[in-house]
Amino acid sequence: MSDIGILGTGAYVPDRVVSNDEVGAAAGVDDAWIVLKTAIYERRWAAADQATSDLATAAGRAALESAGITADQLSVIVVATSTPDRPQPPTAAYVQHRLGAAGAAAFDVNAVCSGSVFALSAVESVLARRGGHALVIGADVYSRILNPADRKTVVLFGDGAGALVLGAGRGARVRHIALHTFSELAGLIEVPAGGSRLPCDQPALDAGLQYFAMDGREVRRFVVDNLPRLTKQFLHEAGVVPDDIRHFVPHQANGVMLDTVIADLALANATTHLTLTHYGNTGAASIPITLDVAARAGAFGPGELILLAAFGGGMAAGFALVEW
């Protein structure tokens, strides 16, 4: 992707702030327990009248403004989400309409929390054929699929959207991308009902199968065992060494787990950027939100290397190396 650059970033989180005490009440845990287990202090949840496409559209507008282009210059819009407005049509179609990007192809990508990095890879071939600019948006509204009584999941997630505008010839260069899927572990993270395998009928609702479910212990084992190894492999393939990395933007899953992973990565010269303390785990939105927050704070210097590392259901992992 040597000709593709990030021209602008944007993000949007809902106004509603949800405290640990509020989210923990039904799950039988308090603020101290949640902070100890996750390092999350609060998160944002969407209003009753907000869907994933609303958050995605707001983030997309911010990214377009940052890039200095208009929606009619877009060739493609890709929305990475595992919480679409509806099973069909794609959430990206709603975003395209609201942005007024009539000439853009629009489709969704679902690689759960790795979705934004998978979407970055997808736009390479589209831009090679169509030219122009791409809008990649990670957006999720997990608050709608959480079991309020499940302390393993309800305390982790927030709602939000992050967006990147990509195009050729200028901007932060995307130097290398790698994608992985470990399908034998697909059952570790799932929403059992609502698809063609198991419709969301009354028996499924009565059993709570419409809710997000996760084997937290095994997910942690997967991340701790695999992310350092895959990261070192990725950096080798990209032709850089760990000491070359100046910034690390991981998926914002769980702050306590990330502390363990970061220690194993040995990125001695890298600053790790985190937004989970106030936004929680925002799914596919977490990396573009965090990238936008850091970029707008002036954290990145010209020529500095940024490592993006995502992981999530599937089980999937995605890596991108960006030269600012």
Is the bond preceding residue 302 a cis peptide, omega within 30 degrees?
A: no
Convert the pLDDT of each residue in 283-292 to its tens digit.
Answer: 999 999 999 9
Instruction: Answer whether 70's CB lies under 8 Å from 128's CB.
Output: no
- Split at pLDDT 50, 70, 90, the class of 14 is very high
Sequence ranges of the chain with CATH classification 3.40.47.10:
4-170, 176-323
CA atoms within 13 A on the CB side of 78: 24
- What is the reported pTM? 0.95
Q: How far apart are CA 221 and CA 68, in angstroms?
A: 43
- Split at pLDDT 50, 70, 90, the class of 270 is very high
Q: How far apart are CA 318 and CA 241, in angstroms?
A: 18
Mean pLDDT of 295-299: 97
Convert the pLDDT of each residue in 118-172 to its tens digit.
Answer: 999 999 878 878 888 999 999 999 999 999 999 999 999 999 999 999 998 777 9
- Split at pLDDT 50, 70, 90, the class of 3 is confident
- 3.50.50.60, 3.40.47.10, 3.30.420.10, 3.30.1440.10: CATH of 176-323: 3.40.47.10
Res 171: pLDDT: 79
HEC string of the chain? Answer: CCCEEEEEEEEECCCEEEEHHHHHCCCCCCHHHHHHHHCCCEEEECCCCCCHHHHHHHHHHHHHHHHCCCHHHEEEEEEECCCCCCCCCCHHHHHHHHHCCCCCEEEEECCHHHHHHHHHHHHHHHHHHHCCEEEEEEEEEHHHCCCCCCCCCCCCECEEEEEEEEEECCCEEEEEEEEEECHHHHHHEECCCCCCCCCCCHHHHHCCCCCCEECHHHHHHHHHHHHHHHHHHHHHHHCCCHHHEEEEEECCCCHHHHHHHHHHHCCCCCEECCCHHHHCECHHHHHHHHHHHHHHCCCCCCCCEEEEEEEECCCEEEEEEEEC
Mean pLDDT of 246-274: 94
Angle, CA 207 vertex, CA 206 and CA 213 arms, to 5°: 130
Res 130: pLDDT: 80
Q: Does residue 1 have a pLDDT over 70? A: no
- Split at pLDDT 50, 70, 90, the class of 235 is very high
Mean pLDDT of 258-273: 93
Proportion of the chain above pLDDT 70, given as a percent: 99
Convert the pLDDT of each residue in 87-112 to its tens digit.
Answer: 999 999 999 999 999 999 999 999 99
Main-chain phi, psi angles of 160, to 5 degrees: 175, 175
Res 124: pLDDT: 82
- Split at pLDDT 50, 70, 90, the class of 52 is very high
Q: Does residue 183 have a pLDDT over 60? A: yes
- Split at pLDDT 50, 70, 90, the class of 2 is low
Res 78: pLDDT: 98
Proportion of the chain above pLDDT 90, given as a percent: 92
Mean pLDDT of the chain: 95
Show which residues are catalytic.
Answer: 113, 251, 281
Fold entry, domain 4-170 = Peroxisomal Thiolase; Chain A, domain 1 (3.40.47)
Instruction: Answer whether 255's CB lies under 8 Å from 280's CB.
Output: no
